[in-house]
Structure 1
Amino acid sequence: MSTLSSPARPEAPARRRPRLRVTAAVFTAAVAALVALGALHLTQGTSAVDAGDLLRLVTGTADDRVWNVLQGSRLPRLAGAVLVGVALGASGVLLQSVARNPLASPDTLAVNAGAYLAVTAVAAFGITLPLLSGIGVAFAGALATAGLVLALSAGGGESATTRLILAGSATAMAANSVVSLLILLFQEETTGLFAWGSGSLNLTGFGSTAQAAPLVLLAIAAVMVLAPRLDLLRLGDDTASSLGVHVRRTRTVTVVCSLLLASCAVTVAGPIGFVGLAAPVIARQIARRLPDLLAHRALIPLGALCGALVIVGADLAVRAVLGAEKSIEIPVGVTTTILGAGVMVWLARTVTSAGSDDRPAILHGAAGRSRTAFALILVGLAAASVGALFVGMFSGDTMLLGGDLVNWLAGKTGASYTWIIEQRFPRVLAAILAGAALACAGTVTQGVLRNPLAEPGLLGVTAGAGIGAVSLITWAPESGAWAVTGIAAAGGLGAFALVYALAWRGGLDTGRLVLIGIGVWSLGMAAITLIILASDPWNTPKAMTWLSGTTYGRTADRLVPLVAALVLVLPLVIAHRKEIDLLSLDDDTPRVLGVRLERTRLLLLGAAALLTAAAVAVVGVIGFVGLVAPHLARGLVGSRSGRVLPVAVLIGVLLVSVADTLGRTVIAPAQIPAGLVCALIGTPYFIWLLWRTRTRTG
């Protein structure tokens, strides 16, 4: 890069001074903006202390009440916001430089999720640690997840960005699933961790900030020493090595410092989302206009200042829009996630990658199956699905026998057993129907997008459907099943339409579509959290119902819309099975054979979105089924859609049914949501899939 080679050439002092003045002016403006926002921040709060009281405090005419308010809550909140922003901003700059990827951040590399999981696990098991030890625990979790993501995302070639974000999203989803499980199982020990999990600045006193600040300053000082080496790494590993840079050691120290910064931020205020992505992007956009700021000795502190500005500004925005009282209940991380997800979508629009580059060998491993073998597989899976239905009916906090079901059908059971069966059978059917819908949607999505790492939930559909359903349940709780399903379908289809429109730039790039979908998914999950916490901040079970996926409390009438969606969409998909096979090849072959490419692609993806939205309306957010079921089906019967579709549907039925049964019986009478069980089952498979692809292409 020319901007990196310029420091090697002597420059006249007369030319250097104006540039130094411009750089100093940028930092002066950033600090001034932070001071102004900080001063405004101190005027907001739940008490009656306002700007006039602060002015009287400066002039020495205020009473002790003003100082007590500032010292007790407002100054600690502001100090925590600045420290966390500085840490996350600097951490994001470092991760982007090491990964050479503008979408790398503590969120997309699952750093925050790993730290959050480690802190939650310690709290769940009743282990009380001092803050510095807590930072060590968070650091260990962050190190584990970041190392896994970086290892899985290697070897992607042109699609490295897509692989990085998919690996990070899957790892973060798995970590968050375990966190949700711990919160449900240890509710007393983890009280308040759901809201804290989105980032909270409700600090009392300076204790945590004061203890974390030296570590943050030490980490930033260390990377400032390494800054010239990081500049040289931009030229490539070979060039940097020839110039005397120890590449591996430099990267290792940089990553360790970045993880330490993120761990400090999580320990102080929880995992505040996407600041580590948004702040470096803002800093780099400024630096593009002023190339001297691209040097890491300027870029790192500029990113840190931008991080502080983002968090303080987001906290101000929450207080200004919702009021000081609500700002206590609404985590600032929800606001920053909405902002950061928007930045991610904007960045993803510039990505171009061949999604088919990641196609693993398993897709063609069973291409030679005979018709007899296919029929036997189909019959075996159908029998297993029927068996799963009966096991689901028999299992639960009260175990049933076959005779109980026979008596119920004949109307001869007592009142207690009748109630148990009538409560249980809608749940079993909901799991079966949702599994079929999600598996079919995943098969269509992967085939049409030519990306075996995609699934409907990562295309924004799940988040959009969740927003629609949660909004209606929150503000119109008397709504019926059809209304909930209708608004969920509208939300899911609307979110997908938004993703599709944003991804279209003279054509549809599958990698870009997936990345934008993940950004919209993140934005949607933040919006769902905001709706839940704004309407009923202490109702964690309600949040878990939609964010974890469960069949609890389902009734037969609520299943009718999902049945209707399956009856409508399944024949349509089967009728277009040959078009799916053609679309999975490339864009040219379908056109040559007379397929109307864009109309067919949009029709099939719209069908997948409708199935996903209907499933979300019934059981909430259940991930990985639409990813795992098609892969397992292709491993059994090959890649032809005519064979993959029925096998994938039966596998989806088995996955969700077994997950629901396990969730209802393992710790009965307590229950684990089916979505959490599916995530815990599906994540290892997804990680193995990424690893297999890495070793094949790396």
Structure 2
Amino acid sequence: MIRTSLHHKQRLILLGFSLLIIATAFIGMGLGDASLPYSRLPAVLLGNGDLKENFILFSIRLPRLTVTLLAGMALGVSGAILQGMTRNDLADPGIIGINNGAGVAIAVFFLFFPIEADSFVYVLPVVAFIGAFLTAGLIYVFSYSRFTGFQPVRLVLVGVGFSMALSGVMIVLISTASREKVDFISNWLAGSVWGTDWVFAGAMLPWLIILIPYALWKARRLDILSLDESTTIGLGVALGRERLTLLLAAVALAAAAVSVTGGIAFIGLMAPHIARALVGPRHGLLIPVATLVGGWLLMLADTIGLHLIEPNGMPAGIVTALIGAPYFLYLLIRKI
């Protein structure tokens, strides 16, 4: 049983990150070219704003903040699942190529199906899931040895190789596309949040409502999978089946997120690590914290990126990479 003191600590940490999310959202709602003074925000949020204020807040800023929050949550939980099931602290859907697999599928669909992006918003997560799952399956196969079984360290190396190869495929696809579609794919690769309407938040929400509770339900299984394989099998866990179902959940969460935010990496790496440092390795405690940490990190990165460089800002994916890449190298060096 998890000690009562740890539950109390977790609740305090969840409250702290909830307040950080609210504070970051409040700051983000007041920033931008169009004037919306902070003194007016409470009134506008309560429905007492004028037409311009309502449009700025409810049609432009709040949808984007909501999308980044939900996507960050999805990536944080996806990373926690991947790190638990692979016993590898370096696992992240962006680093090991899952995001790029989703990106290639989205790019192919966008290039070869004559449909505007906004009209297939609810199809995008499914398309991204197919590409991401095929990629994850190949990575898993190439990381497995019939002599030594599944090798977590090899997973990262194979995943990085797939990520680079899929980036090359994206470049080939770009070279055959029209200017408009090139701009879309380039922005996706950079991690520029492009799905900034309420409809995109609505497209992601069902995936999170189903899969985050599923991850919490599987928390004890993840605790067992974090042990060595012989111990896991000895405890009666169906190793192959559990890994497959958890992989499906992790891939689906990552695909739902990157289908509307672009190629965001390192959120799935950093959020579980921060959560683990705060509440320990038990997934029942770790996953809720990683959920909020991931949401806050991506919301913060997008808010900083939007206003860091004028006039167009910096993609959130670049901001997260500036923070996450050195941290990944530190973890890699420490692991070696």
**TM-score of the superposition, structure 1-length normalised?**
0.45
1:420 paired to 2:18: no
Structure 2 alignment gaps of length 5 or more: none
Larger mean Cα displacement after TM superposition, 460-469 or 553-562: 553-562
Inter-partner Cα distance in structure 2 for 1:675 and 1:399: 26
2:155 aligns with 513
1:440 paired to 2:77: yes
- Kept in 1, the 8 Å contact 2:7–2:285? The answer is no
One-letter identity of the residue aligned with 2:122? W
1:377 paired to 2:24: no
Among candidates 234, 238, 241, match of residue 599 of structure 1 = 241
Larger mean Cα displacement after TM superposition, 605-614 or 459-468: 459-468
Among candidates 536, 539, 549, match of residue 178 of structure 2 = 536
Q: Which aligned pairs between 1:77-476 and structure 2 lie closer than 5 A?
A: 370-400=6-36, 401-404=38-41, 406-407=43-44, 409-410=46-47, 412-414=49-51, 416-421=52-57, 422-476=59-113
Structure 1 alignment gaps of length 5 or more: 1-366
- Kept in 2, the 8 Å contact 1:431–1:656? The answer is yes
Inter-partner Cα distance in structure 1 for 2:142 and 2:332: 26
Q: Secondary structure at the match of 1:535?
A: coil
Sort the Cα spacing of 1:559 and 1:526 in 2 relative to 1 into closer, same or farther, 3 A: same
Sort the Cα spacing of 1:666 and 1:410 in 2 relative to 1 into closer, same or farther, 3 A: same
- Kept in 1, the 8 Å contact 2:191–2:261? The answer is yes
1:503 aligns with 143
Point out the structure with max Rg over C-alpha. Answer: 1
Larger mean Cα displacement after TM superposition, 422-431 or 535-544: 535-544
One-letter identity of the residue aligned with 1:380? G
- Kept in 1, the 8 Å contact 2:93–2:251? The answer is yes
1:548 aligns with 190
**Shift in Å, 1:428:** 0.6
Inter-partner Cα distance in structure 2 for 1:656 and 1:402: 26
Inter-partner Cα distance in structure 2 for 1:469 and 1:402: 41
Alpha-carbon displacement from aligned partner over 1:404-452 (angstroms, at most 9, x marks no partner): 46336526422x3333221222111111011100010001111110110
1:616 paired to 2:253: no
Sort the Cα spacing of 1:418 and 1:533 in 2 relative to 1 into closer, same or farther, 3 A: farther
- Kept in 2, the 8 Å contact 1:441–1:612? The answer is yes
Alpha-carbon displacement from aligned partner over 1:116-162 (angstroms, at most 9, x marks no partner): xxxxxxxxxxxxxxxxxxxxxxxxxxxxxxxxxxxxxxxxxxxxxxx
Aligned length: 327
Inter-partner Cα distance in structure 2 for 1:473 and 1:428: 25
Q: Secondary structure at the match of 2:123?
A: helix
Sort the Cα spacing of 1:487 and 1:411 in 2 relative to 1 into closer, same or farther, 3 A: farther
Inter-partner Cα distance in structure 2 for 1:532 and 1:417: 39
1:559 paired to 2:195: no
Larger mean Cα displacement after TM superposition, 644-653 or 492-501: 492-501
One-letter identity of the residue aligned with 1:617? S
Inter-partner Cα distance in structure 2 for 1:562 and 1:431: 11
Inter-partner Cα distance in structure 1 for 2:155 and 2:308: 39
**Shift in Å, 1:693:** 4.5
- Kept in 2, the 8 Å contact 1:473–1:484? The answer is no
1:583 paired to 2:219: no
**Shift in Å, 1:603:** 0.8
Sort the Cα spacing of 1:505 and 1:570 in 2 relative to 1 into closer, same or farther, 3 A: same
- Kept in 2, the 8 Å contact 1:470–1:546? The answer is no
Inter-partner Cα distance in structure 1 for 2:329 and 2:166: 24
**Shift in Å, 1:627:** 0.6
Sort the Cα spacing of 1:480 and 1:409 in 2 relative to 1 into closer, same or farther, 3 A: farther
RMSD over aligned CA atoms reads 2.2
- Kept in 1, the 8 Å contact 2:195–2:260? The answer is no
**TM-score of the superposition, structure 2-length normalised?**
0.90
Inter-partner Cα distance in structure 1 for 2:173 and 2:42: 41
Sort the Cα spacing of 1:556 and 1:402 in 2 relative to 1 into closer, same or farther, 3 A: farther
Sort the Cα spacing of 1:373 and 1:523 in 2 relative to 1 into closer, same or farther, 3 A: same
Inter-partner Cα distance in structure 1 for 2:172 and 2:217: 41
Inter-partner Cα distance in structure 2 for 1:520 and 1:450: 20
Sort the Cα spacing of 1:393 and 1:418 in 2 relative to 1 into closer, same or farther, 3 A: same
**Shift in Å, 1:684:** 2.5
**Shift in Å, 1:403:** 2.3
Inter-partner Cα distance in structure 1 for 2:284 and 2:89: 17
Inter-partner Cα distance in structure 2 for 1:519 and 1:606: 21
Inter-partner Cα distance in structure 1 for 2:197 and 2:164: 30
- Kept in 1, the 8 Å contact 2:75–2:257? The answer is yes
Alpha-carbon displacement from aligned partner over 1:222-266 (angstroms, at most 9, x marks no partner): xxxxxxxxxxxxxxxxxxxxxxxxxxxxxxxxxxxxxxxxxxxxx
Inter-partner Cα distance in structure 2 for 1:575 and 1:514: 26
One-letter identity of the residue aligned with 2:233? R
2:328 aligns with 686
Percent identity at matched positions? 36
Inter-partner Cα distance in structure 1 for 2:333 and 2:166: 29
1:4 aligns with none
2:210 aligns with 568
Alpha-carbon displacement from aligned partner over 1:275-331 (angstroms, at most 9, x marks no partner): xxxxxxxxxxxxxxxxxxxxxxxxxxxxxxxxxxxxxxxxxxxxxxxxxxxxxxxxx
1:643 aligns with 285
